[in-house]
Amino acid sequence: MRNAADENQVKKASEKDRFSREQELLDVKNILSTPHGRRFIWRYLGLAGVFRLSFTGNSETFFNEGQRNIGLKILDDVMESSPESYVLMSEEARGKEIKEQI
């Protein structure tokens, strides 16, 4: 957009952003539609530290928070695109943990 005062340019930019976001969410939904995709996403949510504290008491906390922030963005995309897939993904992960304990 070259001119923020031009309503047509603002409208076109807004439509482009909306289409781009819709495509991103469709991509995430497609990834979550397979067991392989759900395992991949779950693994990276864990690696990013989404489900644990990032505080260490030293400067490592900043690094941990950066990783966690990316994981939270992924989790937000999951929840916005397909919340039912999150439930399924967590159930599948829990089932895997139970099998590994046996």
What pTM value is reported for the model? 0.78
22 vs 7, residue with greater confidence? 22
C-beta of residue 81 within 8 angstroms of C-beta of residue 73 = no
**Cβ within 8 Å of residue 61, ≥6 positions away:** 54, 55
Written as six digits, the tokens of 87 are 């439930």
Per-residue pLDDT at 1 = 61
Domain map (residue ranges) of the chain = 7-101
Q: 18 pLDDT band (50/70/90 cuts)? A: confident
DSSP 3-state of 32: helix
Per-residue pLDDT at 99 = 78
Written as six digits, the tokens of 60 are 């490592």
- Taking residues 61-67, report their average pLDDT: 97
Max mean pLDDT among 1-5, 10-14, 51-55 falls in 51-55
